[in-house]
């Protein structure tokens, strides 16, 4: 843990100014839940190991489960032992656990917020925490309203215009399940907090490789001149997951791949890939550019949906060495469910830079492997001097940004195959995080929690961006709802999606990348 005064502990923020994590209490609503155990507590532990947390910090789990501080610490320890990036060390744990506390409470009970306040007022002076608080809502979306009003009425929100001390609220996705409910959530949040106190998490933005998209585009001079419709043929974004829905069938039935992955993670990825250069790395400047991009997405009209969007569901299959059930046979999934577990779509960005360049997105569960990448395919050379033989066509240049798990980037270029004949052969210039930087990259939640403590909102979603992405998604949801379709195209679990997705891209004389 870091004993330096905070001013000497610079956190390299996403911005050009350096921000510092500040002394605070993190209250985890749903502290005894899965997200807390798998992600949040291990993330805080790793930050502590890296010396990135201020010494003045406390973590308070707040949830309905009846746990003592000791039981909560055991729960946290178990989470770290099982899910932490770095192994649990007894010495570090002994220090870390002293900062963990638990307060039982019902999110709907005013009296329990009063108790929470008493508890925080008692804990904070022990660590010299000056009343700065971060509330993390690791709870189902149906509780958001109750909790934010509970906090406000319980006098747990410091006035936004009189900081310090600060109050910040972290909200997990999903923010709504369509445009109108997303607006409703934003209204509730803003009734209780100022926008600058709100941190809507999209954990994809916390991934190192996702942040590297901006670094790669704007930290090098060679890409930007080519980054437009004059040179780029198309872009493909793939987010494939090997797992099916597992135990999350109940939630997934209310979501589906479009809401679960495209509306947030994939559109955020796209906005980084395609946005205009920001004039500064300040949070609002970057967020404005991302918003601009979302606003340029060509609206999808009801009649377009059928031509540009494919949805499908995984059927039973054999993969990862075992028989896997189809989606309709998963736990807590309706036997006649029409929830999509796969989406592929073609979209266009209506601005000067991207005019006419198709962007293909695909995401699905129960696919052959977990792999996410953004691939930018450049146009073919204008005049063929080589490989006129149609058996060995000249392959176009592709820049592949590998988001996970084999993090890195590769540029495919043509080189001369050694020998007397002039034949061009595709080779890869490859950068791998693992071999260059060695250590494992920090988890997205580590970075994001640190940014909230430092007050850097660059990697979080503003209300307008959330609504802009729902606005674009909404006609697809509406068209699907209106179609009354009772069966979706299927793909066997462990395969790359339905034939309809191949047809979508083949219709443009292109093909999905083989990953």
Residue 440 CB, shortest distance to ligand BG6, in Å, is: 14
241 binds ligand BG6 (CB under 6 A): yes
Binding mask 182-221 for ligand BG6 (x = CB under 6 A): ----------------------------------------
Residue 241 CB, shortest distance to ligand BG6, in Å, is: 5
Residue 173 CB, shortest distance to ligand BG6, in Å, is: 6
Q: How far apart are CA 483 and CA 274, in angstroms?
A: 32
Q: Tell me the CA distances in angstroms from 429 to 233, 384, 397, 401, 415, one per residue in order.
A: 20, 23, 11, 12, 11
Binding mask 357-396 for ligand BG6 (x = CB under 6 A): ----------------------------------------
Residue 38, C-beta contacts closer than 8 angstroms, at least 6 positions apart? 79, 82, 83
Our CB check for ligand BG6 shows the closer of 260 and 288 to be 260
451 binds ligand BG6 (CB under 6 A): no
- Select the residue whose beta carbon is closest to ligand BG6 and give its number: 260
487, 339 in Cβ contact below 8 A? no
Q: Tell me the CA distances in angstroms from 172 to 28, 29, 141, 200, 418, one per residue in order.
A: 12, 11, 8, 6, 54
Q: State the pairing for strand pair 232-240/359-364.
A: parallel
> What count of Cα atoms within 13 Å lies in the side-chain half-sphere of residue 348?
14
Q: Which of 99, 203, 265, 308 is catalytic?
A: 265
Torsion of CA 285, 141, 265, 482, to 10 degrees: -110
Residue 208 CB, shortest distance to ligand BG6, in Å, is: 12
Residue 495 CB, shortest distance to ligand BG6, in Å, is: 18
Residue 185 CB, shortest distance to ligand BG6, in Å, is: 16
Number of residues that bind ligand BG6 (CB under 6 A): 2
260 binds ligand BG6 (CB under 6 A): yes
- DSSP 3-state assignment of 429? strand
In a 10 Å sphere around its CB, with 0-12 CB exposed, 13-18 middle and 19+ buried, how is residue 404 labelled?
A: middle
Our CB check for ligand BG6 shows the closer of 172 and 288 to be 172
Residue 80, C-beta contacts closer than 8 angstroms, at least 6 positions apart? 41, 42, 45, 88, 93
Q: In the structure encoding, which two tokens stand for residue 240, read together? A: 């494939």
Q: Packing angle between helix 283-296 and helix 267-274, nearest 10 degrees?
A: 100
Residue 206 CB, shortest distance to ligand BG6, in Å, is: 9
User: Which is nearest to 289 in space by CA: 353, 372, 193?
Assistant: 353
Our CB check for ligand BG6 shows the closer of 73 and 365 to be 365
Residue 5, C-beta contacts closer than 8 angstroms, at least 6 positions apart? none
Q: How far apart are CA 81 and CA 226, in angstroms?
A: 46
Q: In the structure encoding, which two tokens stand for residue 40, read together? A: 């949040």
Residue 157 CB, shortest distance to ligand BG6, in Å, is: 27
If one counts every other C-beta atom within 10 angstroms of the C-beta of residue 36, the result is 24
Residue 245 CB, shortest distance to ligand BG6, in Å, is: 8
446 binds ligand BG6 (CB under 6 A): no
The answer to whether 265 is a known catalytic residue is yes
- Strand-pairing partners, residue 63, are 104
Residue-wise over 357-368: b if at least 16 C-beta within 10 A, else e?
bbbbbbbbbbbb
172 binds ligand BG6 (CB under 6 A): no
Our CB check for ligand BG6 shows the closer of 208 and 260 to be 260
Q: How far apart are CA 175 and CA 460, in angstroms?
A: 13
Our CB check for ligand BG6 shows the closer of 241 and 340 to be 241
User: Which is nearest to 443 in space by CA: 85, 82, 83, 171?
Assistant: 85
In a 10 Å sphere around its CB, with 0-12 CB exposed, 13-18 middle and 19+ buried, how is residue 486 labelled?
A: exposed
Our CB check for ligand BG6 shows the closer of 124 and 241 to be 241
Residue 286 CB, shortest distance to ligand BG6, in Å, is: 21
User: Which is nearest to 29 in space by CA: 127, 122, 148?
Assistant: 148
Can you give the binding site for ligand BG6, defined by CB under 6 A? 241, 260
Residues designated as active site: 265
């Amino acid at each position: 843990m870091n004993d330096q005064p905070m001013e000497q502990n610079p956190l390299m923020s996403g911005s050009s100014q350096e921000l510092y994590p500040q002394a605070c209490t993190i209250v985890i609503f749903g502290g005894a839940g899965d997200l807390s155990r798998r992600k949040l507590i291990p993330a805080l532990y790793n930050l502590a190991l890296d010396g990135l947390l201020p010494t003045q910090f406390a973590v308070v789990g707040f949830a309905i489960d009846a746990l003592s501080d000791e039981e909560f610490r055991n729960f946290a320890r178990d989470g770290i032992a099982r899910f932490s990036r770095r192994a649990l060390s007894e010495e570090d744990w002994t220090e870390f656990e002293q900062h963990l506390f638990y307060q039982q409470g019902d999110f709907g009970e005013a009296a329990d917020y009063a108790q929470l306040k008493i508890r925080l007022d008692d804990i904070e002076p022990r660590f010299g925490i000056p009343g700065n608080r971060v509330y993390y809502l690791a709870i189902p979306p149906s509780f958001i309203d109750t909790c934010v009003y509970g906090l406000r009425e319980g006098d747990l929100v410091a006035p936004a215009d009189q900081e310090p001390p600060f109050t910040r609220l972290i909200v997990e996705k999903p923010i709504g399940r369509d445009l109108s409910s997303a607006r409703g959530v934003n209204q509730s949040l803003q009734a209780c907090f100022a926008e600058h106190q709100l941190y809507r998490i999209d954990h994809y933005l916390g991934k190192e490789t996702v942040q590297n998209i901006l670094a790669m585009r704007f930290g090098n001079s060679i890409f930007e001149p080519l980054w437009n419709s004059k040179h780029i043929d198309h872009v493909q974004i793939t987010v494939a997951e090997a797992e099916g829905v597992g135990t999350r069938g109940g939630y997934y039935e209310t979501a589906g791949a479009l809401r679960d992955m495209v509306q947030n993670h994939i559109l955020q990825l796209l906005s980084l890939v395609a946005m205009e250069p920001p004039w500064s790395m300040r949070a609002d400047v970057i967020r404005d550019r991302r918003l601009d991009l979302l606003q340029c997405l060509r609206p999808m009209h009801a009649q377009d949906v059928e031509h540009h969007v494919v949805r499908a569901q995984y059927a039973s299959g054999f993969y990862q060495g075992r028989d896997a059930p189809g989606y309709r046979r998963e736990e807590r999934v309706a036997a006649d469910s029409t929830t999509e577990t796969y989406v592929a779509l073609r979209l266009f960005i209506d601005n000067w830079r991207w005019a006419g360049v198709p962007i293909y997105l695909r995401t699905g569960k129960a696919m052959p492997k977990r792999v996410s990448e953004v691939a930018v395919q450049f146009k073919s050379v204008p005049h063929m001097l080589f490989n006129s033989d149609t058996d060995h066509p000249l392959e176009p240049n592709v820049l592949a940004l590998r988001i996970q798990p084999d993090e890195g980037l590769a540029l495919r270029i043509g080189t001369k195959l050694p020998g007397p004949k002039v034949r061009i052969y595709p080779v890869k210039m490859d950068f791998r995080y693992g071999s260059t930087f060695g250590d494992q990259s920090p988890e997205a939640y580590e970075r994001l929690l640190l940014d909230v403590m430092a007050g850097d909102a660059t990697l979080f979603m503003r209300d307008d961006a959330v609504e802009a992405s729902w606005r674009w998604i909404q006609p697809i949801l509406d068209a699907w709802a209106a179609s009354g379709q009772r069966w979706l195209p299927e793909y066997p679990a462990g395969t790359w999606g339905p034939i309809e997705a191949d047809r979508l891209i083949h219709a443009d004389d292109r093909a999905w990348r083989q990953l």
